[in-house]
């Protein structure tokens, strides 16, 4: 039994204010972890992820709101894939103007799916390989638009407990 709620953090990488003096965005955020269970009618139900076990599916939802007095641009949201879990492929929210990108190097670099990487074989030849979901360490959403005053953005992704 383990709790993943405390094992996860989220980051707002950046937010750029409008140029008016004394006006600035103020981003407040929260992250919620919900365990996904399937009922007898084969419907998914989200319940608190207080205790999770191997093979459980957990959905993380990141919500950010601009509670400042100026619009924000350049907002990036990041959710890590906790140790002991595996990212579930194609579960990251993917909507217009908020596209997910993925890291396989603890958040140092991000790439669109499918994420590829280079390996050098025993003959010194480089080979491009496609990363598997268990290699994903972080999911980041890059907002291409503006987060207006009072506006909220919500994204999510799922992991499976090993």
Average pLDDT of the chain, as a whole number: 88
Count of domains in the chain?
Answer: 1
CA 141 distance to own-chain centroid: 7
pLDDT-derived band of residue 15, with 50, 70 and 90 as boundaries? very low
pLDDT tens string 82-114: 999 999 999 999 998 899 999 999 999 999 999
**Does any domain span residue 119?**
no
**Does any domain span residue 6?**
no
pLDDT above 70 coverage of the chain, percent: 86
Q: Which domain holds residue 50?
A: 11-94+141-161
pLDDT tens string 110-126: 999 999 999 999 999 99
pLDDT-derived band of residue 23, with 50, 70 and 90 as boundaries? confident
pTM of the model: 0.85
pLDDT-derived band of residue 65, with 50, 70 and 90 as boundaries? very high
**Does any domain span residue 53?**
yes
**Does any domain span residue 154?**
yes
- Closest to 103 (Cα-Cα) out of 23, 47, 92, 20: 92
**Does any domain span residue 26?**
yes
Report which DSSP code applies to 106.
Answer: T
Distances (CA, A) of 102 to 23, 37, 144: 33, 26, 16
**Does any domain span residue 61?**
yes
Whether the bond between 114 and the residue before it is cis, its omega within 30 degrees of 0, is yes
Q: Distance (Å, rounded) from C-alpha 141 to C-alpha 159?
A: 16
**Does any domain span residue 18?**
yes
**Does any domain span residue 117?**
no
**Per-residue pLDDT at 10:** 43
**Per-residue pLDDT at 18:** 44
């Amino acid at each position: 039994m383990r709790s993943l709620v405390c094992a996860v953090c989220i980051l707002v990488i950046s937010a750029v204010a409008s140029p008016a003096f004394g006006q600035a965005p103020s981003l407040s955020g929260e992250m919620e972890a919900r365990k996904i269970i399937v009922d007898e009618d084969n419907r998914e139900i989200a319940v608190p992820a207080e205790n999770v076990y191997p093979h459980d599916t957990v959905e993380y939802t990141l919500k950010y709101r601009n509670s400042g007095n100026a619009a924000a641009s350049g907002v990036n949201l990041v959710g890590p894939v906790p140790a002991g879990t595996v990212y579930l492929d194609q579960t990251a929210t993917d909507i217009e103007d908020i596209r997910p990108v993925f890291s396989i190097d603890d958040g140092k670099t991000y790439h669109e799916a499918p994420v590829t990487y280079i390996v050098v074989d025993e003959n010194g030849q480089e080979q491009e390989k496609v990363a598997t979901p268990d290699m994903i360490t972080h999911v980041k959403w890059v907002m291409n638009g503006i987060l207006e005053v009072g506006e909220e953005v919500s994204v999510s992704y799922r992991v499976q407990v090993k």
